[in-house]
Structure 1
Amino acid sequence: MTSLALGPATPAATPRAATPPHAATPSGAAVPVTPAAAATRRPSEGSVHSWDLSTGVDGPGTRFVTFLSGCPLTCLYCHNPDTWRMRNGRRTSAASVIAEAGKYVRFISASGGGATVSGGEPLLQPVFTGELLHRMKHELGLHTALDTSGFLGVRATDALLRDTDLVLLDIKSWDPDTYEKVTGRPLRPTLDFARRLADLGQEVHVRFVLVPGLTDDPADVEGVAAFAGGLGNVSRVDILPFHKLGEAKWQALAMPFALHDTPSPTPERIAEVREVFRAHGLNAV
């Protein structure tokens, strides 16, 4: 991925943000917001770590990517551990994010790109995420993508998903024990969310990080490939080779990086894994 850093998000005095058309309930259902209720709603704010213009695995074309703070996973290979806690971000209004993205609409549109809400885990802030996706899509006319682990998929309302053109879903392992070792969380919520997206016919790009000695076991690779291939809505699989580019951030946070001695996968092994996914009818890159 190549990116042009736009710097950290900064709160700004902005006009009152447009309210999303639905509000989330504890059950995850979508409830219409009446005009009277909308008039009394405060502008949506969230904890935003930063934003970038990027090209790569954040969705098609050049993307305006908003990185939200806070994540329930603690992935061993995370290259942004500085986004794990909500306090790592800055309280920012949805209106200010939309205003920033609006500066690049012509450039983004010319590339066939769009806007991606990433993290951290954006579904840790589902109302704020829903408003960003809604306004990026309907006010700016951009293709929208949600980058998620799926662990908090139950927090994604149907309204939020209707405003999402593409879900970038990380399936980090097929083996439950390996998944929990990698993330500190159970696998099942991600698989349940993937099945829900398939039932909705939602387009999905699956991302699979290939880590030697951790997620490259043949049975693990075959399991993810067979599952993704059977969903019917996965248009692309990104095989992402493990790297240690984020290790400096772990050191800066005085956190031990458990994969310090783990090598990157060889080009030959990456090619082999791609062929496993392609054997299940998937466009693996």
Structure 2
Amino acid sequence: MKGRIHSMDTFGTVDGPGIRFVLFMQGCALRCQFCHNPDTWSMAGGSEVTVEEVLAEIEPYVAYYQRSGGGITVTGGEPTLQAPFVARLFRECKRRWGLHTALDSSGFCDPGRAAELLDATDLVLLDLKQMDAGRHKRLTGQRHERIHRFARHLTKIGKPIWIRHVLIPGVTDEPKDLRLLGQFVSELGSVEKLELLPYHRMGVFKWQALGLDYPLEGVPEPEPEEVERARAHIEEGRHLAGNLNAAEVWATGTFGK
């Protein structure tokens, strides 16, 4: 079995607990305006590898992953587009070394097609990009109903979730939407953490290298006080939902897709 990948990172520290091997898959159905990996969008890009070839890359570092409470995270692109390959890779990582497995996904996925993969996944890092359906489509090229169904399915099967939301001034920081995010997250019983990720421009050069116009040109990175205001709005939503034990809201300085 072969998968199409973009790249690998042997010392990831922001994509799940502990030190992690991070595998970036090729291909994505979304076209997020803030994506810092637009070179992962096309399924024709990257390179083909077998599960055994990826395992050979992981093996020299297994002791570091085990001692740190880390493991393997598969991201992208969108890893669920290659669910059978990722499922087999996860199963082998568990069988050989007992590694913790994390799936970093947009959630734009049919849960039925990902059942085998989710069965081999210990943690899902789920990106919730925008709560308003119309603005979500403008931001990503797709509506969010499928993503919300996927999130509810994860709760139904008891899969631990870390929610990620990228805070973009004037784009994803509307107070109403942030309160709705807090409410929605509180309704998902298996959410362990909500990461509020300040937008950054570190991937703009990739858009330029691909000859693409960057849609958020001129949008600034949020100031610390803007991040704190956003956190407060999310907490308001959690209070409205009446479930304050669902997740702890964190802020960090990096974001994924």
Q: TM-score scaled to structure 1, two decimals? A: 0.82
Tell me what 2:230 maps to.
273
Distance in 2 separating the partners of 1:275 and 1:156: 37
Q: Among 244, 249, 253, which residue is 1:284 paired with?
A: 249
Tell me what 1:4 maps to.
none
**Mapped pair 1:214 → 2:179:** no
Q: Among 124, 132, 141, which residue is 1:167 paired with?
A: 124
Q: Which amino acid aligns with 2:181?
A: V
% identical equivalent positions: 42
Give the gaps of 5 or more residues in structure 1. Answer: 1-43
Contact 2:84 2:116 in 1 (8 A): no
Give the deviation of 1:53 after TM superposition: 2.6
Distance in 1 separating the partners of 2:186 and 2:92: 32
Tell me what 1:224 maps to.
181
Report the count of equivalent residues.
Answer: 242
Distance in 2 separating the partners of 1:277 and 1:153: 27
Q: Which amino acid aligns with 1:168?
A: L
Q: Among 189, 195, 206, which residue is 1:249 paired with?
A: 206
Aligned pair in 2 of structure 1 residues 183, 246: CA closer, same or farther (>3 Å)? same
Q: Which amino acid aligns with 2:216?
A: L
Give the deviation of 1:96 after TM superposition: 0.5
Superposition map of 1:178-217 within 5 A: 178-217=135-174
Tell me what 1:65 maps to.
22
Superposition map of 1:98-177 within 5 A: 98-154=55-111, 156-177=113-134
Pick the structure with greater CA Rg.
1
Distance in 2 separating the partners of 1:238 and 1:153: 24
C-alpha offsets along residues 133-169 of structure 1, whole Å, 9 cap, x if unaligned?
1112222210000010010143543332121000000
Distance in 1 separating the partners of 2:125 and 2:113: 14
Q: Among 42, 52, 56, which residue is 1:85 paired with?
A: 42
Higher relative contact order (CA 8 A, sep 6+): 2
Give the gaps of 5 or more residues in structure 2. Answer: 239-243, 251-257
Distance in 1 separating the partners of 2:59 and 2:26: 22
**Mapped pair 1:47 → 2:4:** yes
Distance in 2 separating the partners of 1:94 and 1:140: 15
C-alpha offsets along residues 76-117 of structure 1, whole Å, 9 cap, x if unaligned?
000000100122210100111011111111011111111001
Tell me what 1:15 maps to.
none
Distance in 2 separating the partners of 1:244 and 1:95: 35
C-alpha offsets along residues 209-247 of structure 1, whole Å, 9 cap, x if unaligned?
001111100011111111011111110011111111000
Superposition map of 1:7-26 within 5 A: none
Distance in 2 separating the partners of 1:66 and 1:235: 23
Tell me what 2:255 maps to.
none
The DSSP-based 3-state class of the residue aligned with 2:44 is helix
C-alpha offsets along residues 39-69 of structure 1, whole Å, 9 cap, x if unaligned?
xxxxx10101110034443101111011000
RMSD of aligned C-alpha atoms? 1.3
Q: TM-score scaled to structure 2, two decimals? A: 0.91
Distance in 1 separating the partners of 2:58 and 2:234: 35
Contact 2:200 2:221 in 1 (8 A): yes
Give the deviation of 1:278 after TM superposition: 4.0
The answer to which of 133-142 and 185-194 deviates more is 133-142
Distance in 2 separating the partners of 1:203 and 1:267: 29
Stretches (4+) displaced over 6 A? none
Report the structure, 1 or 2, having the larger helix content: 2
